[in-house]
Amino acid sequence: MRCLLQRVTSASVRIDDRIIGQTGPGLLVLACAMADDSEANVAAMARKLVNLRIFQDAAGKTNRSVLDVGGSALIISQFTLAADTTRGNRPGFSAAAGPELGARLYDLLCTTVAGLGIPVETGQCGGDMQVSLVNDGPMTIWLEK
């Protein structure tokens, strides 16, 4: 599983000019299930997302997790994180999980993160979404499990 994680002060996702998911201070997670992913990969990613210490403590050091600060998460499925750009100018996406597996693993990631104590809102798998965010820091981290 691949995730692009951003610490945000706010983020939202729209479809047809209607907000379908949003978060206040916390995380925006763009998530991609890979063809060889398993439920174990998803569980490991969920634990990493919840426990990664990227929020500042009182001394200004990044010693706190989203769980520690009482933050929330907006998790959006984005299969394009599987892009292979090594040949030519058109990305290939064959490393991404197929639509059925991808949707199942994305849903599992969202429910697992929520089960670990983080309020979660979501995008829509396969939807034409517009994402807005205010990146805090900026803090953007690439994760792969």
Catalytic residue among 80, 93, 111, 112: 80
Paired with 34 in beta bridges are 96
- Asked if 50 and 111 count as a contact pair (C-beta separation under 8 A), the reply is no
Per the annotation, the verdict on 93 as an active-site residue is: no
Per the annotation, the verdict on 130 as an active-site residue is: no
Per the annotation, the verdict on 78 as an active-site residue is: yes
CB neighbours of 40 closer than 8 A, spacing ≥ 6?
Answer: none
Catalytic residue among 6, 55, 79, 112: 79
Catalytic residue among 23, 78, 112, 122: 78
According to DSSP, residue 84 is labeled B
Active site residues: 78-80
